Amino acid sequence: MTNLFLLVLIAVAITFAAAFFYVSKILSLHPQGRAIDYINSESKKNQRIIACIGDSLTHGNIGQSWVDYLRQEFPNDVFLNEGINGNTAWQVIQRLDPILQCQPDLIILLIGTNDALGSFDINSGLRYKKNNELPEVPTLEKYKEHLNELIEKIGIQSKIAICTLPPIGENVNSEVNKHVNLFNDYIKLIANQKNLSLLPVSDALWSEINSRTYPIKLDFNSKAMPLMLKRILGGIFHHYLFKKSWNDISRAKGQWILFDQIHLNERGAEIVYKLAKDFIAKS
């Protein structure tokens, strides 16, 4: 009996380890179809090049990818997925050269959620600075500077659509979403000042949240990061290993558009996709 129990324990441990490495490998992969892939490709047709730039919300392997929806909608265009998990606006600037080298016709920019998370409180800021090797702790003022610099660099050759930021958690009156609103106010301001197309992602997602058919369970809590990471990893395991949809994972957690209070499920990604689709169709 003891030997059997030990064998079962070892088998369970091996299974969990294999699952962990499988998911870790998925998370470590860069998006498919990046600028560097296009540069290195041998065949370049006369196609529109559309660069989608941002963080994990654009990357789309934690949550649903709206870029993949666009690729299905516009199969004759080239979509560069330049969303990198965890990126701030400053980090996007550091990796901009290959994107500009592709001379994209259109750029869709969705960046700032990590800047908002990292500037929400001092502990979050210090964690972002360390983990992302940032030159300084994120702040709203630094985000404004970096967003301006980013737009100046990419606006020379491309038509830009800039997105307002999705909510963090689904409580419209939470302190963190009041903080996100400060970022969105600036995004709207700079879009107006620089005559950019504005994609109202925030408003569209809040409108969808208002139609939810079940109650919210938990609110975002920046001080409960171990629990937040558990939610993220738990959702990832259920999606990639047990093939559950992001919508179903969201429902189990009492969320409507954000399966872990940060990343988009299919319902949320569909909304971003529709806004981006309209911009592309009119351009």
Task: Please indicate, yes or no, if residue 116 is contained in any of the structural domains.
Answer: yes
Task: Please indicate, yes or no, if residue 237 is contained in any of the structural domains.
Answer: no
| 38/158 Cα distance (integer angstroms) | 17
Give residue 139's domain range: 27-209+268-282
Number of domains in the chain: 1
Task: Please indicate, yes or no, if residue 219 is contained in any of the structural domains.
Answer: no
Task: Please indicate, yes or no, if residue 236 is contained in any of the structural domains.
Answer: no
- Taking Cα atoms as reference points, which of 121, 221, 207, 198 lies closest to residue 172? 207
Single pTM value for the model: 0.91
With both helix axes pointing from N to C terminus, report the angle between 175-193 and 140-154 in degrees, rounded to the nearest 10: 30
Task: Please indicate, yes or no, if residue 131 is contained in any of the structural domains.
Answer: yes
Task: Assign residue 116 the CATH number of its domain.
Answer: 3.40.50.1110
Task: Please indicate, yes or no, if residue 239 is contained in any of the structural domains.
Answer: no
With both helix axes pointing from N to C terminus, report the angle between 201-209 and 266-282 in degrees, rounded to the nearest 10: 140
Task: Please indicate, yes or no, if residue 223 is contained in any of the structural domains.
Answer: no
Per-residue pLDDT of the chain (283 residues; tens, 9 = 90+): 566 656 555 655 555 555 556 666 666 678 999 999 999 987 667 899 999 999 999 999 999 999 999 999 999 999 999 999 999 999 999 999 999 999 999 999 999 999 999 999 999 999 999 999 999 999 999 999 999 999 999 976 679 999 999 999 999 999 999 999 999 999 999 999 999 999 999 999 999 999 999 998 888 888 776 767 778 888 888 999 899 999 999 999 999 999 999 999 999 999 999 999 999 999 9
- Sheet with 49-54, side-by-side order of all strands: 78-83, 49-54, 106-110, 159-163, 197-199
Helix (H, G, I), strand (E, B) or coil at 32: coil
